[in-house]
Amino acid sequence: DGLLYPFGIGRVGATIAENKPPYLSESIATFGKIFWLFLVGMIMLFWDSLENLEKRKRILFTAAFVILILGLTFTRISTSGLLNGENFISRFLYLGSIGLFILVFIYSLIKAKLDGDEKIMEAFRKIDVGLVLILAFSFFALISMRGAIRLFFIVSLAVVIVSSFVPIRIKKSLSNKNNGEVTKLFLFILLLISIFAIILTGISYFNQTNFQAKATAPSIYEQQWQGAMLWVRENTPEGAIFTHWWDYGYWVQTLGERPTVSDGGHFIGYWDHLVGRYLLTTEKPETALSFMKAHNVSYLLIDSTDLGKYSAYSSIGSNSGGEDRLSQIPVMVSDPSQTIESADKETRIYVGGTPVDEDIIYSQEGQEIFLPANRAFFAATVLEVSKKNSQISFNKPYGIFVYNNQQIRIPLRYIYFKGELIDFKDGLNATVRILPLISLSGQGVEIDNMGATIYLSPKVSGSLFAQLYLMDDVFNNYPTLKISHSEPDPFIGSLNQQGANVQDFVYYQGFRGPIKIWKVDYPSNIIGREEFLKTDGDYAEFDNLTFTR
């Protein structure tokens, strides 16, 4: 497992972008022409390290080493190829090349021992330790190269060192007086090719780095986070512990100067699962409060980008099957071409959608509708608005589901609009969260107060993220979490300064919202379960605990 999955196969490691196992095609694209010099250089180094062996054994060992290099490199080429690194043949060739290399050495050493051949042992004793060190480093670099993208930082060191050896080794061969004119010409051409490959790669890397450096700033150097963390530094006690999704840990620690439960180091990756399950996606307020009390949390922070990350932390927060919390939150925009208007009514269709996240069984007009999870698709929201005497009211919204090439309309129970929840008493237990749509034109800023919607499925509607962040605790499930600070999106703040008076959440080139920070107080009946302080464990293992007295 360590060879196949250097960063493990856990849900946390698989979800983090920089832990993605790269394919050979990505490695070649990253390292360019010197990637091939790296492979050639390893073979040259290995051949030179065995210079004291007789030629036949030297060729045998080098052949085994070439097979090892091919097995490490070419058994994870691309996701669509036969050698994708995941199927049986890829794993067999990968691990088999390592096993063959080891067996060749073991067999040769045992045979030499039985034959009383001391020459092979003497040859091994004379191997340059420096070459062994570089070869060992290069071996693990190849394994790392298929382990995680983040390891390219270390792999690049081995690539540069070994690639640089190639022209030096060729120049050494050129000085061999036993070479004929044709051989020397061939070696000279190879020398020029290797030098040019290194120079061109260096120039390319310099240009890329120079361009990126001019346009790069720290990821936290943005107005919204600077403002939020300024408030944290000036208005929260030193040592006050924050909790949030792990992405923001280092930002709160450095800009806000406050400790956090989790951060990008994932030193205790199990806590990422606990945050995902018992905090952000939980439908039971007592579990969130118990988790935060166990960690002595003073503040809860949620950022607007958590909406797009819902699929990540709901996956990490799911049970051992990986599906009970898994979902995503689609943001859908009104399609003007499908809008139907009359004197007293307007019908809008919001197109977008997402796979159905759990089986839906719904009775309608005496018939039972069944929509299977991950096979049916939520495709659109239909919203009817009645207009009378300049007043607007909503009719029951509908969701358009697609299954087996058929469209199925199912009523949805809730609408959340301008801080109010409208309950139609029946329908699928899902929520349509209406957002303003902002657009810029030659006439200035145009605001459509019903231009976009967020679809909150039955699974998502009850989550802490949806209830607390998107709907301002409309059901009063978190009375002891008081909003302490809301740092608006700079674009929204700018509009409101000009008198636009738009909501906290809008759709403008994507979903935009504030950074919200809640002060956490704990009801006297909440138990801070010490189990939440465990540093490892099973998925969903605390579901059956009691969290209240």
Contact 61, 105 (CB under 8 A): yes
Contact 515, 487 (CB under 8 A): yes
Over 90: is that where the pLDDT of 402 sits? yes
Match 């090892």 to its residue by tokens. 68
**Would you state the pLDDT for residue 124?**
84
Q: If pLDDT is split at 50, 70 and 90, which confidence band does 14 have?
A: low
pTM attached to this predicted model? 0.78
Cα 179 to Cα 354: distance, rounded to the nearest angstrom: 68
**Would you state the pLDDT for residue 152?**
86
Q: If pLDDT is split at 50, 70 and 90, which confidence band does 219 have?
A: low
Over 90: is that where the pLDDT of 178 sits? no
Decide: residue 151, CB within 10 A, 0-12 exposed, 13-18 middle, 19+ buried: buried
Dihedrals phi, psi of 261, to nearest 5 degrees: -75, -40
Over 70: is that where the pLDDT of 297 sits? yes
C-alpha torsion 104→109→115→116, nearest 10: 160
pLDDT-above-90 percentage for the chain: 63
Over 80: is that where the pLDDT of 203 sits? yes
Decide: residue 91, CB within 10 A, 0-12 exposed, 13-18 middle, 19+ buried: middle
Over 70: is that where the pLDDT of 328 sits? yes
Dihedrals phi, psi of 509, to nearest 5 degrees: 55, 40
Contact 198, 34 (CB under 8 A): yes
Half-sphere exposure of 362 (CA within 13 A, CB side): 20
**Would you state the pLDDT for residue 456?**
97
Q: If pLDDT is split at 50, 70 and 90, which confidence band does 497 have?
A: confident
pLDDT-above-70 percentage for the chain: 97
Please choose, from the candidates 510, 490, 495, 511, the residue with its C-alpha nearest in 3D space to the C-alpha of residue 225: 490
Summarised one tens digit per residue, pLDDT across range 75-116 is 999 888 888 888 899 999 999 999 999 999 899 888 888 888
Amino acid at 69: I
**Would you state the pLDDT for residue 324?**
93
**Would you state the pLDDT for residue 11?**
64
Q: How far is CA 436 from CA 281, 431, 451, in A?
A: 25, 16, 5
What is the radius of gyration, based on Cα positions, of the chain?
A: 31
E-strand ranges in 241-357 read 241-243, 297-302, 331-334, 340-341, 345-355
**Would you state the pLDDT for residue 109?**
86
**Would you state the pLDDT for residue 248?**
93
Amino acid at 111: K
Over 70: is that where the pLDDT of 9 sits? no
Query: Mean pLDDT in the chain?
Result: 90
**Would you state the pLDDT for residue 493?**
87
